[in-house]
Structure 1
Amino acid sequence: MYAPFFGLQHPPFSIAPDPRYLFMSERHREALAHLLYGLDAGGGFVLLTGEIGTGKTTVCRCFLEQIPAHCNVAYIFNPKLTVPELLRSICDEFGVAHQAAAPGVETVKDCLDPLNAFLLQQHAAGRNNVLIIDEAQNLAPDVLEQLRLLTNLETSERKLLQIILIGQPELRAMVAAPELEQLAQRVIARYHLQALSADETRQYIAHRLAVAGLQGPLPFARRALARVHALTGGVPRRINLLCDRALLGAYAAGQREVGEAIVRQAAREVFDAPVAAGPGRWWPAALGGLAGAAALGALGWAMGWWPVAVVDATRRQAPVAVTTPAAVAAPAGPATAPLAPVSNPEAKAGAQPPLTLAGFLAAQAEGPSPDGWQLLAQAWQASLPPDAADPCAQLASEGLRCWRHRRASLNLLRQLDRPVLLTLRPQDGSAGEGGVMVLLRQLDGDKATLAGANGSTLQVALADLAPLWHGEVATLWKAPANLPTGSNVAATVAGAAWLDRQLTLAGQARTDQRGISPAQQRRARVHQFQLGQGLTPDGQAGPLTLMMLNRAAGVQEPSLRAGG
């Protein structure tokens, strides 16, 4: 109802788990890192707990998207089961056939035997098996004990089943009970997800509004944002409920900005929270509820009592700034007149229309221009021949390594803070199966600066990129010429010495301990660094870890924040 009034394309604060609105705070990234760590930890339990609405399901969904292809996953979302029901559900999730050995009721053994055979077969094939149980605080004690027994299924090398329990804070108390001491000893990682801070609450609200299509400033006053955090405690689900109702109240009152009084009134409507007496009425006639307010608002809009923001569909792709070398060099005249907004009815005849994202992408395939890899090389002040068969091999001679990923997130790009190649896929299919490669040169709040053919640049809202980008990225990072190219950069003496120096520069001090080899100490330092950066804490210095090490150690590399 209120979305067009605030210049939005979609309702921004739905409580439905829409992946477009995924917001990963530092806490969420660290929680995700603990779950990913559990995949290769050799079995046992991983616990993720948090208050209602803090984002446990969001983290779980993100985790499921990043599970490697060599992992089988069973997901139980309704744990109010008996032991036989749980085992049947696990078998069904893994696709394991089971049946009663004798006529009558199926026994626990009838499920355990085929499940054990399946896990052994998958282990022999090099596959891991992960069982995820959501709302695990509802598990009965005897079911928890059965889960512990499932972790007894093992070979001489490792356990065959990794179990992840996700639940509310009482799950921690359950596991800490004396009768579950044996289970508690098998917990290899645990994380309690806290609510958002005041600053993260502001970022969360801004993020959702940007994805919903907001082009201008936030429609929340500064004091209103502080009040939202105070009333919700930083719990994302409560933030959604309160902000949705507050925007509805502002719309009903014909106000373009949500003030603190509106937030207080919305809290009373949503949470039944007490509201201080005083200037808290939103609308004339002191209507008693938001239903009446919404009706009055709709009537006022229809009768023209207050103006409504005109949102042209083409404005979602209108850039903030467009520059091309041709435009800079062109003589003064109509072609270089100030760009008129598409929705401006008073635009002068003959004025150049603004370049849209669709037009920018269409131009990438027109005429001779450097491909995406050449654009990326230029951002790193490196040279790449147009006919280079293997750009990564060519760039390696200049001390640059390639990194590609097919499921990256915006938060990961912000964390890496370096120019990247994005593969965009226009919804009309005009780019073909391969998509269009453009250079993401800068991220500034909810705006992205893209570089493309003929040196052109385009600044667009991140919300406009979301439907076109599915996570495919490529970027570079600096590395010494003698650094091993495999997954273990410490495989050589020179590589190990370089990694030790980088860790020291990044603040991970060396600790000499008796009985621990230098390799074990190095792995422990990498593990601690990864935890601090929200990376998967596996102790292996892979490309993501090395890129973050470069940034923490002060290696001079181009930055997305600085625009190169």
Structure 2
Amino acid sequence: MYLQHFRLTESPFSLTPNTGFFFGLAPHIEALQVLQAALQTGEGFIKVTGEVGTGKTLICRKLINELPERFRCAYVPNPYLTPAELRWAVAMELGVEYSKEVDQQQLTQLIQHKLVENAAAGLTTVLVLDEAQALPDDSLEALRLFTNLETESRKLLQVVLFGQPELDERLAQDKFRQLRQRITFSYKLRPLTAQEAKGYINHRLNVAGYQGRPLFSGRESQLIARASRGIPRLINILSHKALMLSYGEGDDRVRVRHVKGAINDTEDASLHIHPAVLAGFAALLGVLTIAIVWSVTGI
């Protein structure tokens, strides 16, 4: 691939959320600060929403990795679960011991006993759900009932919801007013500015081992920021494809034409460029992709 060509030690623009590439972008730092402050209060629900690709899962993993020792975390990455499945998932994450014959009422009691046990040991239990917009209605209600578990002085369980804007739309419905009133802290992730996008691109290249003059100038970074609408996932995709095109031409840096070729090849990115102008770059990108697959898989 282009790693050796640009003297990189690893892929700088992988789509897999990797906290090793975490960059102190203002919206991400602000979201973490809200989450950390909210968890210190020990009350209710906490919610973080943002468009697809804005970094919710990365923030989620960063939060979990940095929780102080006094916290016990149950993490549910795919909450498209029935109420019963949600209880099983929570019980498993909390390390609750149960037999196969246990029914749902008994399972709920076992979970409550575990929460009481954690609290008695001075531990705060946190349930973190990613992609929370996928929770069925009945499971959202079951989640609210979980937070009814409390002592006289504190909640036994805090819930952190990460979700797309559809989660806000669902919670705005009247039938979810009880749950909505329990959301004590919330944060909405915004897209990156052009300057933040430039810093983000350079940071990921540096973490991946790049040393030398910038591979992306201010103009190329601005084009990527504009075409991606400031969404980190799209910035990754466009930067990766631009590097592929630059490598395919044997160039030592990314040019505007490479960025435009990457934009033309990405459905969710656009500068309203006529496709015919960039057809050659799209073809080159396709050839490079096939070549990379061959080199990796040997097929």
Q: Is the shorter-chain TM-score for this pair beyond 0.5, marking a shared fold?
A: yes
Answer whether contact 1:83 1:146 (CA < 8 A) is retained.
yes
Q: Who is 1:275 aligned against?
A: 273
1:141-540 map, 5 Å: 141-271=137-267, 273=270, 275-276=273-274, 280=278, 288-292=283-287
Structure 2 CA distance, aligned partners of 1:294 and 1:115?
A: 49
**SS of structure 2 residue aligned to 1:182:** helix
Structure 2 CA distance, aligned partners of 1:295 and 1:114?
A: 53
Answer whether contact 2:198 2:218 (CA < 8 A) is retained.
no
Describe the superposition over 1:60-112 as per-residue Cα deviations: whole angstroms up to 9, x where unpaired.
Answer: 11111211111111011121111111111111110112346xx6xx5321111
Answer whether contact 2:245 2:284 (CA < 8 A) is retained.
no
Q: Who is 2:63 aligned against?
A: 63
Structure 1 CA distance, aligned partners of 2:264 and 2:278?
A: 11
Amino acid at match of 1:197: T
Answer whether contact 2:18 2:58 (CA < 8 A) is retained.
no
Displacement of 1:278: 7.8
Structure 2 CA distance, aligned partners of 1:41 and 1:98?
A: 31
Structure 1 CA distance, aligned partners of 2:218 and 2:37?
A: 39
Amino acid at match of 1:188: T
Look at both structures and tell me which one has the larger radius of gyration over its CA atoms. 1
Displacement of 1:43: 2.6
The answer to whether 1:85 aligns with 2:93 is no
Structure 2 CA distance, aligned partners of 1:268 and 1:288?
A: 11
Structure 2 CA distance, aligned partners of 1:224 and 1:231?
A: 11
Gaps of 5+ in 2: 293-299
Answer whether contact 2:77 2:129 (CA < 8 A) is retained.
yes
Displacement of 1:22: 1.5
Structure 2 CA distance, aligned partners of 1:76 and 1:60?
A: 11
Q: Who is 1:554 aligned against?
A: none
Displacement of 1:234: 1.1
The answer to whether 1:122 aligns with 2:118 is yes
Describe the superposition over 1:204-251 as per-residue Cα deviations: whole angstroms up to 9, x where unpaired.
Answer: 001011112222121123221111011111111111111111111011
Q: Who is 2:47 aligned against?
A: 47
Amino acid at match of 1:182: Q
1:23-38 map, 5 Å: 23-38=23-38
Q: Who is 1:110 aligned against?
A: 106
Structure 1 CA distance, aligned partners of 2:239 and 2:208?
A: 13
**SS of structure 1 residue aligned to 2:265:** helix
Gaps of 5+ in 1: 298-564
Q: Who is 2:9 aligned against?
A: 9
Amino acid at match of 1:186: R
Q: Who is 1:372 aligned against?
A: none
Q: Who is 1:95 aligned against?
A: 95
Answer whether contact 2:54 2:191 (CA < 8 A) is retained.
yes
Describe the superposition over 1:33-55 as per-residue Cα deviations: whole angstroms up to 9, x where unpaired.
Answer: 11112222123100011111111
Amino acid at match of 1:288: A
Structure 2 CA distance, aligned partners of 1:214 and 1:257?
A: 12
Higher relative contact order (CA 8 A, sep 6+): 2
Structure 1 CA distance, aligned partners of 2:255 and 2:280?
A: 10
Seen in structure 2, the aligned counterparts of structure 1 residues 158 and 236 have a Cα distance that, compared at 3 Å, is: same
Answer whether contact 2:248 2:284 (CA < 8 A) is retained.
no
Seen in structure 2, the aligned counterparts of structure 1 residues 216 and 84 have a Cα distance that, compared at 3 Å, is: same
**SS of structure 1 residue aligned to 2:195:** helix
- Report the RMSD for the aligned CA atoms in angstroms: 2.2
Seen in structure 2, the aligned counterparts of structure 1 residues 290 and 117 have a Cα distance that, compared at 3 Å, is: same
Amino acid at match of 1:276: H
Answer whether contact 2:127 2:158 (CA < 8 A) is retained.
yes
Answer whether contact 1:73 1:132 (CA < 8 A) is retained.
yes
Displacement of 1:291: 3.2
**SS of structure 2 residue aligned to 1:201:** helix
Q: Who is 2:296 aligned against?
A: none
Answer whether contact 1:261 1:279 (CA < 8 A) is retained.
no
Seen in structure 2, the aligned counterparts of structure 1 residues 123 and 261 have a Cα distance that, compared at 3 Å, is: same
Structure 1 CA distance, aligned partners of 2:149 and 2:8?
A: 53
Answer whether contact 1:83 1:143 (CA < 8 A) is retained.
yes
Q: Who is 1:140 aligned against?
A: 136
Structure 1 CA distance, aligned partners of 2:284 and 2:266?
A: 11
Amino acid at match of 1:26: A
Moved more, 66-75 or 198-207: 66-75
Q: Who is 1:438 aligned against?
A: none
Structure 2 CA distance, aligned partners of 1:295 and 1:10?
A: 20
**SS of structure 1 residue aligned to 2:5:** helix
**SS of structure 2 residue aligned to 1:271:** coil
Structure 2 CA distance, aligned partners of 1:47 and 1:258?
A: 38
